[in-house]
Amino acid sequence: MTRITVAKGDGIGPEIMDATLDIIKAAGAKIEIDEIEVGEKVYLAGNPAGIAPEAWDTIRNNKVFLKAPITTPQGGGYKSLNVTTRKFLGLYSNVRPCMSLHPFVKTKHPIMDIVIVRENEEDLYAGIEHQQTDEVVQCLKLISRPGCEKIIRYAFEYAKQQNRKKVTCFTKDNIMKQTDGLFHKVFDEIAKEYPNIENEHWIIDIGAAKLADTPEAFDVIVMPNLYGDVLSDVAAQITGSVGLAGSANIGEECSMFEAIHGSAPKRAGQDVANPSGLLQGAIMMLNHIGQSDVAEKVQNAWLKTIEDGTHTYDIFKEGTSKKAVGTKEFAQCVIANLGQKPSLLKSVSYANNLALNLPKYKRKTPATKKLEGVDIFVHWQGTEPNELAQKVQQLEGKGIKLSMITNRGIKVWPDGFKETFCTDHWRCRFKAKDGEQMYKTDILELLEKAIEEDIDTIKTENLYAFDGVSAYSLGQGQ
Ligand code: NAD
């Protein structure tokens, strides 16, 4: 018996959760359920996280959480419960299988069978944002080595366990050489440990185009958080319906399983919603808790039901579909098919589909770090970069020189183009002169002088070399 936490959520949530639980219990799932309340009611009761503190205790005690979709109320102040849960519980890996069910569910991509493994904790979803000037806001994109190692190793271990042939990595490291560059570098390092699994890297833009056009060219795809968020929805949609996909959020201790779609409030309470997405999440949960025999039985019965043409409204098509059903009847049909296998669709065998047990991240020996300069960001209303250069050159110390000014990353001084559009947000790069050593106190001096000269500094970024390699981007056009 495994004790799990269940949240029935909002909108169609309670109906699809009841259907899912009926099916897995009928298949013999050995689970005990603690139900918690999350979502709209909890938000509107004045809890901006959408969850009460006692509910966290239940989730953390049971460690396995099956969650129906929730409605996040419109308007400011409400935090996404999904993002909070993933980050609080360290659910670093979001696994989303996307498979076509041709010819039973209409799709342009009949032989698609891919799994997207999305990094779930960092990237732009760190949610660290600031307004810095009248005209410019920023969002910090944080990518860490532990974050990359954990998710990329997960993707390869998953591929190995599932007998998948290839792992593809998507990044935009031709532009973001530090952040996406690290993700790609770690991918290449870890890929070497799996010589029997093919590996490849695509730049995300052309990779995404290829995925939407020729998904059969891919198998497992691993990517940073934002790209994974967008492309996993694209991938699910092109199999025929977002209503059919589930996802697993896996951490070192806890895990959460869900459908990928939302709470579809317009369909709530009408017994019409398709419970398949949540059921797919529940099947991943059963594998995760070591009940693969039950998972396999449910998946084969579900495939048979789809194959029988027993379809909810979202996938119902005259011609291919045979019987239009609601949520409850769909669940009853799956239950009636337990023990059977599909004949045209490939049946599944989950003989060794246990939870992956990955090694814990080990911190590396720290590199030798040398301060080479500082970027001082300035809020300035002027338009002429030469004028700003003269102003900030007054800040130069004895061993430190202004080396460049950029505006939104593009070099505007020295030798800028008059055509370049400039905002009120300027990055002034100061570097140690050749042969001079720079210290943090030099930065303090620069900032103090800026106050004296009435220059509005808004932030600084230290420029470091790690083990002798300068680790910061150049100005575009530098
Ligand atoms: P949605 O996924 O709820 O609905 C999109 C469309 O798909 C609608 O036409 C809907 O009727 C249909 N649909 C979705 N699931 C279906 C199912 N199982 N069966 C049949 N049809 C289905 O997306 P939305 O309308 O953008 O969002 C509604 C609410 O859900 C919002 O409050 C949003 O914040 C929330 N949401 C929650 C989650 C989650 O909890 N994981 C995820 C996404 C959106």
Assign 157 to helix, strand or coil.
helix
Query: Given this model, what pLDDT does residue 438 score?
Result: 94
Is 363 within the bounds of a domain?
Answer: no
Task: Decide if 308 contacts 300 (C-beta within 8 A).
Answer: no
Q: What is the DSSP string of 94-146?
A: EEEEEE--TTTS--S-TT-EEEEEEE-S-BGGG--EEE-SSS-EEE--B--HH
Give the mean pLDDT of 26-55: 93
Q: Is residue 361 part of a domain?
A: no
pLDDT at 36: 97
Average pLDDT over residues 296-306: 98
Handedness of CA 315, 321, 327, 331 (dihedral sign): negative
State whether the beta carbon of 67 lies less than 6 angstroms from ligand 1. Answer: no
Q: Do 58 and 193 lie in a common domain?
A: yes
Please tell me whether residues 167 and 234 are part of one structural domain: yes
The pLDDT value given to residue 434? 86
Give the residue-averaged pLDDT of 169-191: 97
* 225-238 helix and 204-213 helix, angle to the nearest 10 degrees: 10
Q: Examine the domain organization and report whether 287 and 395 are in the same domain.
A: no
Least confident of 158-162, 187-191, 239-243, 284-288: 239-243
Give the CA angle between residues 276, 279, 285 to the nearest 5°: 150
Residue range 428-455, pLDDT digits in tens: 999 998 888 999 999 999 999 999 999 9
Q: State in Å: Cα 345 to ligand 1 middle.
A: 27
The answer to whether the CB of 20 is under 6 A from ligand 1 is no
Minimum-distance ligand 1 atom for the alpha carbon of 275: 18
Residue 326 near ligand 1, beta carbon < 6 Å: no
Q: Say yes or no to pLDDT of 325 above 90.
A: yes
150 shares its domain with 84? yes
**Average per-residue pLDDT for the chain:** 94
Residue 343 lies in a domain: no
- The average pLDDT across 291-311 equals 97
Tens-digit pLDDT profile for residues 10-37: 999 999 999 999 999 999 999 999 999 9
> In 3D, which of 251, 264, 294, 258 has the Cα closest to residue 276?
258
Query: Does the Cβ of 404 fall within 6 Å of ligand 1?
Result: no
Ligand 1 atom closest to Cα of 267?
A: 11
pLDDT value at residue 78? 81
Check if 85 has its Cβ closer than 6 Å to any atom of ligand 1: no
Check whether residue 114 and residue 45 sit in a common domain: yes
In a domain, 356, yes or no: no
Q: What is the CATH number of the domain that holds 411?
A: 3.30.70.1570
The predicted pLDDT at position 251 comes to: 95
Name the residue of 96, 237, 263, 329 to mutate for ligand 1: max ligand atoms within 8 A of Cβ: 263
Domain CATH code at residue 252: 3.40.718.10
Residue 427: closest CA among 454, 388, 466:
388
pLDDT at 242: 82
How far apart, in whole angstroms, are the C-alpha atoms of residue 232 and residue 252? 22
CB 280 within 8 A of CB 242: no
Both 295 and 404 in one domain: the answer is no
C-beta 70 within 6 A of ligand 1: yes
**How much is the average pLDDT of 282-311?**
97
- Predicted confidence band of residue 403 (pLDDT cuts 50, 70, 90): very high
Choice from 261, 272, 279 to test ligand 1 binding pocket (greatest atom count within 8 A of CB): 261
Atom 9 of ligand 1, nearest CA residue:
264
**Do 68 and 17 share a structural domain?**
yes
327 lines ligand 1 (CB under 6 A): no
Question: 226 C-alpha to center of ligand 1: Å?
Answer: 19
Task: State which of 336, 357, 386 marks the end of a domain.
Answer: 336
Omega of the bond prior to 103 within 30 degrees of 0, cis? yes
Judge whether 349 lies within some domain: no
Task: Note whether 373 and 275 are same-domain residues.
Answer: no
Segment 301-327 mean pLDDT: 95
Q: What is the pLDDT of residues 342-383, one digit of tens each?
A: 999 999 999 878 889 899 899 999 999 999 999 999 999 999
**Domain membership flag for residue 436:** yes
270 contacts 311 by C-beta, under 8 angstroms: no
- What's the one-letter identity of residue 357? N
Predicted local distance difference test score (pLDDT) of residue 175: 94
Residues 108 and 184 in one domain: yes
Whole domain around residue 448: which residue ranges?
A: 369-470
Q: What is the pLDDT of residues 70-118, one digit of tens each?
A: 998 887 778 788 888 888 899 999 999 999 999 999 999 999 999 999 9
Residue 422 lies in a domain: yes
Q: Are residues 119 and 209 in the same domain?
A: yes
State the pLDDT at residue 357: 87
pLDDT of residue 87: 85
Q: What is the tally of structural domains in the chain?
A: 2
Q: Which residue, by CA, sits nearest to atom 42 of ligand 1?
A: 262
Report which of residues 352 and 275 the model is more confident about. Answer: 275
Query: How far, in Å, from the CA of 259 to the mean position of ligand 1?
Result: 10
User: Per the domain annotation, does 249 fall within a domain?
Assistant: yes
pLDDT at residue 270, rounded to an integer = 97
- The answer to whether 51 and 81 are in contact (CB under 8 A) is yes
Higher confidence at residue 323 or residue 76? 323
> What pLDDT sits at residue 81?
87
Distance from the CA of 262 to the center of ligand 1, in angstroms? 3
303 in the same domain as 232: yes
- 377 and 326, same structural domain? no
